[in-house]
Amino acid sequence: MKKMFPKLFEPGQIGTLRVKNRLVKAPQTTGLSNKDGTVTQRLVDHYTHLADGGAGLVIVEYAYIDDIASKSCHCQVGISSHEHIAGLGWLADSIKNHGAKAGIQIEHCGRQRFLGPPMKSASPIPWPMLYDQFHTIPEELTIDEIQVLIEAFGDAAKRAVDAGFDLVEIHAAHGYLITNFLSPFTNKRGDWYGGSRENRFRFLRQIVENCRKKVGPDFPLTVRLSGTDYEPDGMTIEDTIYYAKELERLGIDAFHISGGDHHTMIHQVSPMAMPVCYNVWAAEAVKKEVHVPVMASGSITLPQYAEDILEQGKADFITLGRPMWADNEWVKKAMEDRPEDIRPCIRCNEGCLQRSSFLGRTVMCAVNPVLGFEEDLAIKPAETKKRVVIAGGGPAGMEAARVLKLKGHDVTIYEKRKLGGYLHEASAPEFKEDIRHLIDYQIHQIEKLEIPVICEELTPEMVKAGGYDAVISAVGAEPVIPPVPGINGENVINALTILDSHPEIGRKVVVVGGGMIGTETAIDLAEKGHEVTIVEMKDAIMADCAVTDIIAYYEKIGRNRIAVIPGLRVTEVTDQGVRGVNDRTGRRTELPADSVVIAVGLKPRHAFYDTLAGEPDLEVYEIGDCVKAGKILDAFHTAYKTAVRI
């Protein structure tokens, strides 16, 4: 028995399936399949690395069940045809060859079809985001079409069995087609499949009956349900408990409980502004009413959270989505009693959602540049050992140092302030706690690898005199100071200073700049009791934020009564506040303020790199914010991909 997390590593049972521990890789789309849904080498590499990481069960991302309208997004894996079986068998066997049980999730996307028409649903109610994009209203499924889909789900489940999977999960959560029937928010039908709770459940009941008939009585069959879709007049936890009880009677072997849909995305893929373990309450509610295992899901980022959930009897299994993308060895490290070595998911949604799903790219992770490139970007020993010095100990500098040390190089970091760089400012608000875990992880890696850290500024002269083979500039960026009269007044302070040293400021505050830094600073100040106004020159604030942050931050802005004035260019700062002009209308505005906070962006520090570039017999590199002021994803990716080539 492991001393730190004993509950996590107890064996478990899902129907007839014996699972070696209580940790499950939750299904998440990767975009790593071929366009026709067939399996690729990249997809197999991805899942074998996950299986190597120690999870008892790996559930492959949702697979579309027909070739009409069930496919949700680009390069999604398919299970709609007999021709998919060969590749799926390769995938299932590869997962099992690496020590995990293999499951697969089957689904129809319903109204959440990122590929545009044809789009089918229970009722012609669009998801606003896709309506804005495609101007498509979902077609209401006819009775005949429903019968065809019921058969398609059963056929897909049978293909999974034939391919060698150990378990099939029916996706009835997150706003996909089955949820479109289950939720009164999206089901306005007047026939057998609409109206009462019993009628809304009919579609799922018939799907389960068909799947069970085709996979046999003993094959493990599970269902994923949203505890609630968090929609007005939507599906309630009482609905979900009813559905779960009925499904148990039909022979379902376990329930995977999460919440939300794409319209209420912050409840489905909760950002760091939301509480951790966000939908565990729903798993607990279902577990009290059923007699089969329940899997808890959603923002369970750290092993201690998972252990507590099991210890308190809130669930029987823990499913990990984003956390196992951030670190595929999450399970192995927890099992070896070294949680400090787990690279934590910070729930930024920047790579996995914003830059991959929404842009039609393959999966990415802000803190794990290897994701999706598990073989291509693997760390390999360097052919020639080099002496490398790194200027700057922020996230980019520390990640580069870690990779270089693992490759066998001699590495030294110079950091004049403290390890972590601007991560300290980024993690200052209470709702940014996830980043503090990332700082702890990175510093621990530097200490564990015994990488020297010298607490002073590295100069070009020191590099030239140091006999180094390579130097990496990771000196970051500095605040932009707009050329505005009064900008140096005593009542003016930079946002980074606010977040770093928390100086005394007045009660009434105007924040100039509505990007991520300005918005987060404004919310932090408002939650501490200040009266805050955000002024932004663009037509909208948060242009550089992930969509889930935008939704969560707008809720905080409303709750804290923060005034937002877009389209206003500040022309002067005075002792009494700011003056500005709307460049479209020419209207001039004066805003009174005790303190003015400047947050108009960052500019890269190029001077260090430029001074050394071209120096003979010296390799010179630039990473992180000093390449281009960006986000944590940019820091980690530029650092890793540079260091792995040295």
Give catalytic residues, as residue numbers: 176
CA distance 456 to 473: 14
For residues 512 and 600, the answer to whether their CB atoms sit within 8 Å is yes
Backbone angles phi, psi at 65, to 5 degrees: -100, -10
Question: Which amino acid makes up residue 337?
Answer: D
For residues 185 and 134, the answer to whether their CB atoms sit within 8 Å is no
Write the CB contacts of 123 (distance below 8 Å, at least 6 apart in sequence). Answer: 138, 140, 180, 186, 187, 188, 189, 194
Backbone angles phi, psi at 597, to 5 degrees: -105, 130
H helical segments located in 421-515: 423-426, 433-448, 460-465, 495-501
Q: What pairing do the DSSP bridges indicate for beta strands 602-604 and 477-479?
A: antiparallel
CA distance 548 to 271: 6
Question: Which amino acid makes up residue 342?
Answer: I
For residue 507, the 8-state DSSP code is S
**Bridge partners of 572?**
579
Write the CB contacts of 383 (distance below 8 Å, at least 6 apart in sequence). Answer: none
Write the CB contacts of 287 (distance below 8 Å, at least 6 apart in sequence). Answer: 294, 313, 314, 315, 316
Angle (CA) 299-304-310 rounded to 5° is 85
For residues 518 and 599, the answer to whether their CB atoms sit within 8 Å is yes
For 295-325, the three-class secondary structure string (H helix, E strand, C coil) is EEECCCCCHHHHHHHHHCCCCCEEEECHHHH
616 cis-preceded (ω within 30 degrees of 0)? no
CA distance 243 to 182: 9
For residues 504 and 530, the answer to whether their CB atoms sit within 8 Å is no
3-state secondary structure of 101: strand
In 3D, which of 479, 467, 580 has the Cα closest to residue 533? 580
CA distance 627 to 43: 31
Place of tokens 């109610």: 125
CA distance 555 to 147: 41
H helical segments located in 135-254: 143-163, 177-182, 197-215, 237-249
Give the tokens for residue 643.
């260091």
Proportion of the chain in helix, strand, coil states, percent, rounded to 5: 35, 20, 45
CA distance 57 to 460: 52
CA distance 159 to 139: 28
Place of tokens 């009660």: 507
CA distance 541 to 516: 8
3-state secondary structure of 84: helix
**Radius of gyration of the chain measured on its C-alpha atoms:** 26
